[in-house]
Amino acid sequence: MSKLILIRHGQSVWNKKNVFTGWVDVPLSREGVDEALKAGEQIAGIEFDVIFTSVQIRAIETAMIAMAANNSQKTPVVIHTEGKMAEWTTIYNDAMSRNVIPVYRDWHLNERYYGELQGKNKAETAEVYGEEQVHIWRRSYDVAPPAGECLKDTAERTIPFFTETILPQLQAGKNVLVSAHGNSLRSIVMHIDGLSEEEVLKLEIPTGVPLYFEYKDGVVKRAM
């Protein structure tokens, strides 16, 4: 039985400022750092074999900070695949190579793209467009904000990535940590839990709280 842990990144500086973030690459707030540390303490006893994050710094920070509390003696190492970083990050020691937890970054796990709302304060945006319209942009399944993605669009990139890249790791008996975002994880949980388009709209994924799943008998399900 292998384990899958999903973590939404800790509070970001724009979460704190109530600003639409999307693909803008902002870091964690001080509170977000604390959330990542607390999450790491909760999963400290799990020995991970592989880590996946989005390419956004708040998700990468969360994974690395959480792993600082892990009981494993292995080192999480970001895997680079292009240019000099791919060549010059080679580890020339067999013992240390075996002591690495590979960390893979992939844009398919990025937050939902909020288009022309990015950088705008949520409360001020509601004053301009009306609370009902902003609620539709934020919480409907297939209505996108101006020039942005709806949750359906996000699911069309996250779910194939889960089934084609993450699931085979679980099938191979590996424990997997995924550090990503509210909407990218909502779509993955929708797939795992078999939620309808209506049910997923009610799903809330808080920052910095681990979600526990297990792969057993060919099925990924929530851990009890």
Name, in order, each residue with C-beta under 8 angstroms of 199's C-beta and a sequence gap of 6 or more: 190
User: Any known ligand binding at 182?
Assistant: yes
| pLDDT per residue as tens digits for the range 5-54 | 999 999 999 999 999 999 999 999 999 999 999 999 999 999 999 999 99
Question: Can you give the pLDDT at residue 12?
Answer: 98
User: Any known ligand binding at 129?
Assistant: no
Q: What is the CATH topology of the domain spanning 2-49+57-222? A: Rossmann fold (3.40.50)
Query: How would residue 224 be classed by pLDDT, with cut points 50, 70 and 90?
Result: low
| pLDDT per residue as tens digits for the range 149-181 | 999 999 999 999 999 999 999 999 999 999 999
Give the CA diameter of the chain: 60
User: Any known ligand binding at 10?
Assistant: yes
CB 191, CB 162: distance < 8 Å: yes
Question: Can you give the pLDDT at residue 135?
Answer: 94
CA distance 216 to 224: 13
User: Any known ligand binding at 30?
Assistant: no
DSSP string, 129-197: H-HHHHHHHHH-SS-PPTTS--HHHHHHHHHHHIIIIIHHHHHTT--EEEEE-HHHHHHHHHHHHT--H
Q: Catalytic site residue 197?
A: no
User: Any known ligand binding at 22?
Assistant: yes
- Please pick, among 9, 108, 149, 181, the residue that the annotation labels catalytic: 9
Q: Catalytic site residue 108?
A: no
218 burial (CB, 10 Å; 0-12 / 13-18 / 19+) is: exposed
CB 117, CB 148: distance < 8 Å: yes
| pLDDT per residue as tens digits for the range 175-211 | 999 999 999 999 999 999 999 999 999 999 999 999 9
- Please pick, among 35, 111, 149, 181, the residue that the annotation labels catalytic: 111
